[in-house]
Structure 1
């Protein structure tokens, strides 16, 4: 196995040899006890002769191949969301093409897909009003439904900017939900993921905000399949889960506490719609099958090893987590390069990426440790941390 020289937080270096490849046995078929969506990243086209900050391009072959990988493990795909850098490199025009292509791919392989519908064709600012927000939501919802995908009704930066109070949220959501043909998944994204969403639902206080969100759900429960909340607060999720209508699902978006939330307690459990599942897909799928089989011990063992990695990837600033997700895909050979739309590969330090590498290895999540080590070497070398001669295996 290849010996690497990795940078440490104190400015020094240490030696590390990867070699803990996990063997995740994943039975064929869908999960029985939980619905599990993996939010999916997009692969940038590294040969695009464009400014990545202004006009990135997507490598469609590798992007769709990764979705097929997720479906092959029994996971559902949540697309065109923040994990796909929605609003952070992926604009509405690109999202439309992603929704169109991914939905067609889902139909071809029999995979389940849900796609984000928001208002990002609008720029939040003084010129935007509530009517504009409603029209933007309507346009995107119609597009998602046209392509036979379930709608994930995303939080809106424009609505957060122009809403005067909770009644504006209640009215806009009611109007949109009245127009959709099938139940949607609502998405409450905390401001740690997107600072522009601070004070969503009309209140900065989470108790008051949750009450407004619950009012929207109860008033429109026939049009709500579930809600994904991404607040990184397990107690809040459990509290809200217990207050939902019986037929409405809680989809955890808590990338810190997902094992306990999915496992649940005597009063209920959460389903999953998680960005971290993109990075830990084999372990997540194996754990969910174990849960189906009533093997809670194996479920715990499989997922507890992934939590340090997830907490590292989603550390502050949380919105930079996409960099770690894509880096994992690069290390595991799902793409040939570590480039991202919007140039987001630069959002995390080489120290952060080195620690991610170690944590992924310790969790058994590096499928081919030699390949991952070789790719890590390349990143270290270009970052000025010179390594020995490159491993000569496959690239």
Structure 2
């Protein structure tokens, strides 16, 4: 049945939903990939019945949240837990993230799934915000010692859970560091004490404006040199790097400069097919937020790549880029809204509610276009259910069909 979807100009246009999902097959549930290491950063499912406000601690539906992780593991994907996609610093505070890490790591152990978890310093921020870190006064601004201590606390939680650690970019360090030497000191300190090799995460300011000038400079060439200096000093403690700068050539240039054995995990949600496919000088592994809604399709594409069929891999994954670029368009940090919206339409959760009230962060035309693109790709296991939910949302906004 025809849906009438609003466009960016407020005009309704007719759309005919598909009737069948994309036929995605698997070799076997949970079977490991052989050519690439692939993580999906996973979203959290809010408790829709909790009496909360945007400033209160997150109320999480743990059953639905863990069920979604089992869904990703069932397709062979690793889970990158308590990352930006899980609304760290945008609705999920450190207390909630610590519980998420413990619960997900225990679930991974029980099911045999691979998991890596974010280590940050967000306990230093006392007030959650959906934009940037609250400005601290001189008397409350963290010191470098505070930043190290916060990182250490979170690293201990992740290591005790049995998960691999991902050292995330820190708003507090960005605000406190005077220059590259402070980054070298803090990261060197953490890497020396890490029990196992970690992933270093470079998140660009398009994802979080508070991270402008990370690694001690707004000049990306200078920042890259500092980043590589950290790695070169501790190559045995760095499993890999996750790069989220939305600049394909910069990522390619960076991965070619990595020490032997240090992986590059692309976090580029604009250019991931070409970066994962690689070239005659190397390739990127993946740690991507877009693989949350693309899970089964992404897994199938990587299995095709495992056979050496790069063209088949690109044929499956290239058509998804338009959807990804739509979800991650500026302001990029609100991509989580589209991710959760698609999870609701796909039937992974019973509602479109987010921690921090972030379901309001994207417009109806934006969501309508996300539905159209995802439906066109065949991402919804039950297209009829997705259509009905989209119809209900349109009705809620006063769009008559």
Q: Report the TM range for the smaller structure's normalisation.
A: over 0.9
Does residue 174 of the first structure (1) align with residue 214 of the second (2)?
no
> Equivalent residue for 2:6?
7
Partner-residue secondary structure (3-state), 2:39: strand
> Equivalent residue for 1:90?
92
Structure 1 residue 55: deviation in Å? 2.8
Does residue 280 of the first structure (1) align with residue 294 of the second (2)?
yes
Which of 196, 211, 231 is the aligned partner of 1:197? 211
> Equivalent residue for 2:74?
72
> Equivalent residue for 2:130?
none
Pairwise mapping of residues 196-275 of structure 1 onto structure 2 (< 5 A)? Answer: 196-275=210-289
Pairwise mapping of residues 26-105 of structure 1 onto structure 2 (< 5 A)? Answer: 26-28=26-28, 29-105=31-107
1:133, 1:159 within 8 Å by CA — same for their partners in 2? yes
Query: Please, which runs of 5 or more residues in structure 2 have no aligned partner?
Result: 126-132
Distance in 2 separating the partners of 1:157 and 1:220: 23
Query: Please, which runs of 5 or more residues in structure 1 have no aligned partner?
Result: 388-395
Which of 115, 118, 136 is the aligned partner of 1:116? 118
Structure 1 residue 159: deviation in Å? 0.3
Report the RMSD for the aligned CA atoms in angstroms. Answer: 0.9
Q: Normalized against structure 1, the TM-score is what?
A: 0.96
Structure 1 residue 306: deviation in Å? 0.6
2:294, 2:379 within 8 Å by CA — same for their partners in 1? yes
Distance in 2 separating the partners of 1:324 and 1:102: 23
Partner-residue secondary structure (3-state), 1:279: coil
1:189-231 deviation digits (Å, cap 9, x = unpaired)? 0000000000000000100000000000010111000000100
Distance in 2 separating the partners of 1:321 and 1:330: 15
1:170, 1:216 within 8 Å by CA — same for their partners in 2? yes
Q: Which moved more, 1:346-355 or 1:26-35?
A: 26-35
Which of 359, 365, 370 is the aligned partner of 1:345? 359
Pairwise mapping of residues 136-175 of structure 1 onto structure 2 (< 5 A)? Answer: 136-175=150-189
1:40, 1:77 within 8 Å by CA — same for their partners in 2? yes
Partner-residue secondary structure (3-state), 1:239: helix
Distance in 1 separating the partners of 2:11 and 2:149: 54
Distance in 2 separating the partners of 1:55 and 1:137: 21
1:287, 1:303 within 8 Å by CA — same for their partners in 2? yes
Distance in 2 separating the partners of 1:26 and 1:284: 11
Structure 1 residue 95: deviation in Å? 0.3
Extract structure 1 runs of 4+ deviating beyond 6 A: none
Distance in 1 separating the partners of 2:145 and 2:55: 30
1:53-89 deviation digits (Å, cap 9, x = unpaired)? 3233000000000000000000000000000000100
Distance in 1 separating the partners of 2:236 and 2:327: 36
2:269, 2:290 within 8 Å by CA — same for their partners in 1? yes
Structure 1 residue 104: deviation in Å? 0.2
> Equivalent residue for 1:392?
none
Structure 1 residue 50: deviation in Å? 2.0
1:53, 1:341 within 8 Å by CA — same for their partners in 2? no
Distance in 2 separating the partners of 1:360 and 1:161: 38
Partner-residue secondary structure (3-state), 2:80: strand
Distance in 1 separating the partners of 2:26 and 2:300: 5
Distance in 2 separating the partners of 1:153 and 1:105: 22
Does residue 384 of the first structure (1) align with residue 398 of the second (2)?
yes
1:150-201 deviation digits (Å, cap 9, x = unpaired)? 0000000000001000000000000011111000000000000000000000
Distance in 2 separating the partners of 1:155 and 1:321: 18
> Equivalent residue for 1:391?
none
Structure 1 residue 298: deviation in Å? 1.6
